[in-house]
Structure 1
Amino acid sequence: MKQLFDVSGKTILITGASRGIGKSLALGFRDAGAKVFGTGTSESSISWMESESIHGRVGDFTKDDVSRDLIGSIKKEHGKLDVLINNAGISSHTPISMMKDDEMNRIIDINFKGVFRMCQAYYKTHKHEGGTIINISSVLGLTGFTLASVYSGTKGAVIQMSKAMVAEWGSKFRINVICPGFIETEMTENMQGKGNLMEEFNSRIPMRRMGKPEELLGAAIFLASDASSYMTASTLVIDGGMTGTV
């Protein structure tokens, strides 16, 4: 019987793999037998990768040529990039009334334009071979949340962009989205240290807790493998039931 969830031997690129969800995915795919490339914003942020058998690359995806050069170099070395996982992103807790253009533009550049550029570069370098893209969005791209106006906007844009890319690029590229809920990472540390706030927050989640980064791995492997061969333009929500019960 065909091993539906097998990703061994696949070449996978994960952006924003230096910490949090990206790091967990990188280690998980490595353990599953994939050849993993992970990106970070500096040499120090990826220094741990070599000892973990992950190929680290520094990349600023707000610049056009970085995406093209990175994906092109992986293809040149290995023949093909099988799976692109766009995970890199930043958050903000600035109130709408206090949001400045510089901060807004930075969030848009990284969370939306950076994802667009990576997808575009992947298509241009693999339009004959095809491939698989997994874009990491957020439940805040599906529902509103206080102090997250621009962040929510960019994450919602990633969901709609992914569907539009499927419509335009046809059958050779499968593009799906994972929307995590609130996950225990550096991005949510400011909430985790406040006991009363966390108790109130967790009471809104049917599972009564934040998720762990490793709890996203199963969905990512599913979307990267032949188990999801007829699935595209879809969104998987992994949030402990939060958006399903609002």
Structure 2
Amino acid sequence: MKGRVALVTGGTRGVGAGIARALVEAGAEVVVCARRPPEVPLPGVEFTAVDLRDRTAVHDFVGGLPRLDVLVNNVGGSPYRPLGGDGDGGADVERHARVIELNLITPLTVSLAAYEHLKRARGSVVMIGSVSGSRPSPGTAAYGAAKAGLEHLARSMAVEWAPDVRVNTLVVGMVRTELSHLHYGGTDGLDAVARTVPLGRLAGPSDIGAAAVFLASDAAAYISGASLLVHGGGERPAFLDAATANKGGG
């Protein structure tokens, strides 16, 4: 990745920071943009404050970059938000719409702003998807729907922008970050969740970073429109555990 410039959206912590670090280690010049600067310094990374939901700000920032070879659309996320949970239909719709905007419309906006740069560089886009986009996501339905849309967007973009720009998706499973306890509980909760993963652990940000570097690099020169599963083997089907329990019950 030496001599290449990479932009990571929302790359100030967690998965995004892991991707930024991996790109730096691979020799890339890395720019990270988000609303707030990283709480922990990221050596070798240039930070620019940008509200990624402000389309004008996004186009001004990305268009002003002197060069761009790799775009990693990492920005996203969602709080726990059941459908129809607050009894206020109008407010509820707006909250879900904001989740879809952040996780689907924002990556589209940044990609379109970066297109001319990427075309000149014959570069690549890496979308950060989620296993939530391919299975039911109770409590985060809008997030799951947006991630499903993001993966489809990447496949269509890969066809429209070929042969100049490659576009792929990392379909990410559970990752252990500084905020994991908010989702899975303390150490006991994290250990219990890790036992549900075939490889026996949650991913680390560096695992996602390594996969992102691969898709952005020349090692993946003939890979476009693909979805790479980075989930430790997936999830054990619930019916298997139920069947095992029934066998033991006599």
TM-score range, shorter chain: 0.7 to 0.9
Residue number among 170, 179, 182 corresponding to 2:171 in the alignment: 179
Letter in 1 for 2:71: L
The CA distance in 1 between the partners of 2:157 and 2:65, in whole Å, is 22
The CA distance in 2 between the partners of 1:29 and 1:8, in whole Å, is 9
Residue number among 57, 64, 68 corresponding to 2:48 in the alignment: 57
TM-aligned CA deviation for residue 54 of structure 1: 1.1
Give the alignment's Cα RMSD to 1 decimal: 2.0
The aligned counterpart of 2:245 is none
Residue number among 65, 78, 84 corresponding to 1:74 in the alignment: 65
Residue number among 53, 71, 86 corresponding to 2:73 in the alignment: 86
Aligned pair count reads 232
TM-aligned CA deviation for residue 73 of structure 1: 1.6
User: Aligned pair in 2 of structure 1 residues 238, 25: CA closer, same or farther (>3 Å)?
Assistant: same
Residue number among 10, 24, 33 corresponding to 1:16 in the alignment: 10
TM-aligned CA deviation for residue 67 of structure 1: 2.1
Residue number among 142, 145, 149 corresponding to 1:153 in the alignment: 145
Structure 1 portions without partners, runs of 5+? 1-6
**Per-residue CA distance 1:111-162 (angstroms, 9 max, x = gap):** 1110000111111444444321000011111222331211101111100001
User: Aligned pair in 2 of structure 1 residues 128, 34: CA closer, same or farther (>3 Å)?
Assistant: closer
Residue number among 208, 216, 225 corresponding to 2:208 in the alignment: 216
User: Aligned pair in 2 of structure 1 residues 81, 128: CA closer, same or farther (>3 Å)?
Assistant: closer
User: Aligned pair in 2 of structure 1 residues 220, 214: CA closer, same or farther (>3 Å)?
Assistant: same
Contact 2:68 2:121 (C-alpha < 8 Å) held by counterparts: no
User: Aligned pair in 2 of structure 1 residues 187, 116: CA closer, same or farther (>3 Å)?
Assistant: farther
The CA distance in 1 between the partners of 2:133 and 2:21, in whole Å, is 26
Alignment TM-score, normalising by the size of structure 1: 0.87
The CA distance in 1 between the partners of 2:157 and 2:84, in whole Å, is 33
Letter in 2 for 1:33: G
User: Aligned pair in 2 of structure 1 residues 83, 188: CA closer, same or farther (>3 Å)?
Assistant: same
- Higher mean C-alpha displacement, 188-197 vs 105-114: 188-197
User: Aligned pair in 2 of structure 1 residues 156, 205: CA closer, same or farther (>3 Å)?
Assistant: same
Could you say what secondary structure the match of 1:96 adopts? Answer: coil
The aligned counterpart of 1:3 is none
Query: Does 2:25 align with 1:25?
Result: no
The aligned counterpart of 1:230 is 222
Contact 2:169 2:227 (C-alpha < 8 Å) held by counterparts: yes
The CA distance in 1 between the partners of 2:120 and 2:28, in whole Å, is 22
**Per-residue CA distance 1:42-77 (angstroms, 9 max, x = gap):** 2x447834xx221111111212222222222212xx
Contact 1:123 1:130 (C-alpha < 8 Å) held by counterparts: no
Residue number among 132, 135, 140 corresponding to 1:140 in the alignment: 132
Structure 2 portions without partners, runs of 5+? 87-91, 238-250
Contact 2:127 2:170 (C-alpha < 8 Å) held by counterparts: yes
User: Aligned pair in 2 of structure 1 residues 119, 240: CA closer, same or farther (>3 Å)?
Assistant: same
